[in-house]
Amino acid sequence: MKYICSAAFMAFTACTEDAVPSPEPSTFRLDAEIQNVVDASGEEIASLEMKWDLQDTIGVWNNTEYFNDDNCPFVFSGDNSFTGSLSVSNEIDAYGISAFWPYERNRGKDPSYISVKLPSAQVQKGTGCDIKTNGILVSDHVMTDISSGTVTLNFHTPCAVLKITVDASGTEVEDKLLNTMSIKSEVPVTGNMIYDLVNGTVPVAPNGREVTLTLPDTPSLKEPCDTWFVLYPDDLSGKDLSMQLICTDKSMVDIKVTPEALSLAPSRMNAMTISLADLIETGDAEISEYRVDLSADGTANCYVVSSAEKYKFRPTKGNSSDIPEGMTKVDWLWMSEADLLTNISYEKGMVTFDAGDKKGNAVIGAFNEGGEIVWSWHIWLTDDPTANLHYGMSSAWQIMDRNLGAVSTGIDDYLSYGLYYQWGRKDPFIGPKHSGSKVKREEQPGFTTATAEHVVNPSYQLAFNLIKNTDLVSGDEVDYTIAHPMDFICFDEESNGSGQSWFNSPFASLKNLWGYNEATGSSSKTIYDPCPPGYKVPHFNGDVYSGITEENIPVVSNADLRGVMFTGAGGSSYYPAAGFRDYTGGYLSYMGLTAVFWSAMTYQDTSIRGLKIEPDGKNYVNTNVKLNAAYGQSVRCVKE
C-alpha cells in the first residue's frame, strides 16, 4: 500500500543576500495528490481512495544545517494545496525536507525521533479503510534542490493494513448487524512507538497486542463483511490470533485462528477470510452473549455496576491472579433487595450475572464441592463513584465521591452512609434502614432493629451473625473470615497479644492485611482490600487529609443529622456521619453524630489509625485517631 504525494513548495518572500546563510521565514504552497491503496501484488484498490479535507494539517521539517525548523504546520486549504512556512536562504540550494501526518504540535524538534501512537481503538466508516483516521503517513527524508521553486515529496505509510472478510452464512449471527471487531495478537500490533523520519525506520516498536474496530454503520452479516485494521507490520504467520465480534443485539462470537502465512509489510494490504461456520464446526469459534468484563482493567474484591447490563468478571482472590482453591460454583449470599442480581453462574472461568436498573449491594460467594465458601465478591450497584473524584488536602490523593457501598451522595440521606467494614477484612456488613439519631446504640443486639432490610439466599443457612474473637482458633482467623463473610467478629478479650481486635493471634502477625509498610510509610493493595479495581484503602488518613481544619469541612445538615462537606486541593464531597458498628456487639452506633474512616496503617501493634469527624464532639476532626480493629467502620477509597 503506498500513498504518493507530489508536493510543490513555492517561496513567496525574498531570500537574503548575506554571505552567511541567515534564516528568513518564507511561505510555501504544497500541491498534493494522493494515489489509491495497493494490495500485496501491487494492484490498486479503488474502494480505498483517500482525499484531503479542509483544515487537514501535516507537520513539515526543514532539517538542514543552519535551518532546523521543526514540525511546521502546513494546512490544506483546498485546490490540492497546503500552505505554511519554513526558513530559507539564497545561499543554500538543497534542503532536507520531510513531513508527517497527522500534525501534532508536540511532535518534537528531532525528525529522527518522533513519538506517535498507533491507536488500539479504531473506527471504520463505510466499507473502506481510513488511514487518515487510524494510521499515519510519512514522506521520504530527502535533500531537495528548491532553486526551481518546486519540491516533490513521496508520502507512504509505515503501517500495514489487514483486511478481514467475515463470512457468517449458515450461522446464528448471519442476520445480525456488526458493531465491533477486536483482535488480540501474540505480537505487538498497536500502541506507542517511535518513528525515525530521517532513516524511515521504527527504532522503538509498539507493545500493544490488542485492537478494537468500531463500525458505526453497523453492516449486516447477511453478506460477507469486510473489516479493515491498520496495524504495525510484523510476521503473524503461525501466531495465535484471538478475535471477537460483537453485534448490535449483544451477540458475541469468540474466534481463535492461527494463520499459516500472514506477514504484514509496510505500505501493503493483506487479506484473510473468516468462515464462521467452518470455525464453529472445528470448535475454533463460539457464539455467546456479550457481557461487560468488570475485571478487564484489573481484579478486586469489589466491582462497580452503574447500568443495566450483562456482566462477567474473573474470579480471583482480590487483586491477585489466583483462583480460589476448590472453587466449583458461585451463588449469591445476600442482597440489599430481592433480584438485584439475576442469572448468576460460573462458566468458562468467569463469574457471570445480570443487573437491572436498581441500586444497592450484593455479595457473590464461591463454593467448593463440599458447599464451603472459599471466597466472595461485593457487587456495588451505584452511580459511577469515580465520575466526580475529589482531592485530599494534596492533589496526590484522588478520592471517590462516596463511601464504599453508598448508593447516594445526598446530604442527610442514610443511603449515603454506605457499608461497614472490620479492619483488614474484605467483606462488607449491611448498613442502616434510616438516618441516625446520634445515640450510642441504635439497636441492641447488632443487626436487628436499625439494620437495613436485606435478603439472604434461602438455599444456605446464612445470616449476619455475631461471634466472639475468643471463639476463633489462633492462626486461623483470616481463613475463618473467608469461609464466613457474614460473621461480625466482636471483641471479647485480648489473647496472645491480639489487642482489642477481631482476631485471636498476635496483632503483629496480621498488621499487613491491608498492605501498610512501616519501613516506607506507604501501602500497596492486598488481596484483602475491599475497594474496586484501581482503588485502595488509604494508607494513612493523616497524609490524605494532612492540614485539614474545620474550615475545610463545614457542617451541612437538613435535619440536624451532622454530615460535613469536605473541600481539599480540588473538588468537594459530602462525608456523612454514618457512625459505626460497635466492636463489642456489632450494633449501629452514633449515626448522625460521627464519621469514622479506616486507613491501612496500624499503631504500635495494638490498634489502627483512622479519621474521625465529630462536629458535636471535642475533637471536630482527628486524622490520627486510634481505633480497635473490631469496629465496623466506613471506607473512602483512594486511587492507587
DSSP code for 217: T
Q: Provide the pLDDT confidence category of residue 383 given band limits of 50, 70 and 90.
A: very high
Q: What share of the chain has pLDDT > 90, as a percent?
A: 73
Q: How far is CA 76 from the centre of its chain?
A: 36
Same-domain status, 284 and 414: no
C-alpha dist (Å) from residue 595 to 85, 548, 560, 611 = 63, 15, 14, 8
Query: Alpha carbon of 539 to those of 509, 512, 522, 535, 623: distances in Å?
Result: 18, 11, 6, 11, 12
pLDDT at 16: 35
Compute the C-alpha angle 298/543/568, nearest 5°.
Answer: 90
pLDDT of residue 430: 98
Q: Is residue 601 part of a domain?
A: yes
User: Residue 7 pLDDT > 50, yes or no?
Assistant: no
Last residue of a domain, one of 289, 304, 326: 289
Residue 524 in domain: yes
Whether 271 maps to a domain, the answer reads yes
Q: Provide the β-strand partners of residue 381.
A: 305, 360
Question: pLDDT at position 502, please?
Answer: 97
Within a domain: 349: no
**β-bridge pairing 178-185 and 285-289:** unpaired
Could you tell me which residues are beta bridge partners of residue 331? 365
Q: Tell me, yes or no, whether 283 and 414 share the same domain.
A: no
Mean pLDDT value across residues 122-142: 86
Asked if residue 418 belongs to a domain, the reply is yes
C-alpha 147/C-alpha 94 separation (Å) is: 8
Backbone torsions φ then ψ of 134, nearest 5 degrees: -105, -10
Residue 547 has pLDDT above 90, yes or no: yes
- Of 64-68, 342-346, 446-450, the range with the lowest mean pLDDT is 64-68
CA–CA separation, 459 vs 457, rounded Å? Answer: 5
Mean pLDDT of 348-360: 96
Q: Is residue 280 included in any domain, yes or no?
A: yes
Beta bridge partners of 604: none
Report whether 347 contacts 325 (CB < 8 A).
no
End position of a domain, from candidates 265, 289, 313: 289
* DSSP structural state of residue 417: S
277 with 413, same domain: the answer is no
Q: Is residue 38 very low, low, confident or very high in pLDDT (cuts 50, 70, 90)?
A: low
Which pLDDT value is given to residue 253?
97
Domain count, the chain: 2
Separation CA 97–CA 103 (nearest Å): 15
Q: pLDDT per residue over 134-162, tens digit each?
A: 999 888 777 877 666 667 777 788 999 99
Q: Answer yes or no: is 514 within a domain.
A: yes
For 489-540, the pLDDT digits (tens) are 999 999 889 999 999 999 999 999 999 998 898 999 999 999 999 999 999 9
pLDDT in tens, 301-337: 999 999 999 999 999 999 999 999 999 999 999 999 9
- Shared domain for 110 and 244, answered yes or no, is yes
The per-residue pLDDT for range 172-222, each reduced to its tens digit, is 999 999 999 999 999 999 999 999 999 999 999 999 999 999 999 999 999
Judged against a pLDDT cut of 50, whether residue 287 lies above it is answered with yes
Residue 619 vs residue 228, higher pLDDT:
228
The predicted-structure confidence for 468-494, as pLDDT tens digits, reads as follows: 999 999 999 999 999 999 999 999 999
Residue 20 confidence (pLDDT) above 60: no
Q: Is the peptide bond before 458 cis (omega within 30 degrees of 0)?
A: no
Kind and range of the H or E run holding 483: helix 477-483
- Establish if 373 belongs to a structural domain: no
Closest alpha carbon to 616 in 582, 583, 591: 591
Among 45-49, 103-107, 113-117, 341-345, which stretch is predicted with the lowest mean pLDDT? 45-49
Q: Pick from 289, 310, 330: which residue ends a domain?
A: 289
Domain that holds residue 140: 24-289
Stronger pLDDT, 18 or 208, i.e. the higher one = 208
Predicted pLDDT of residue 34: 61
The pLDDT of residue 579 is 97
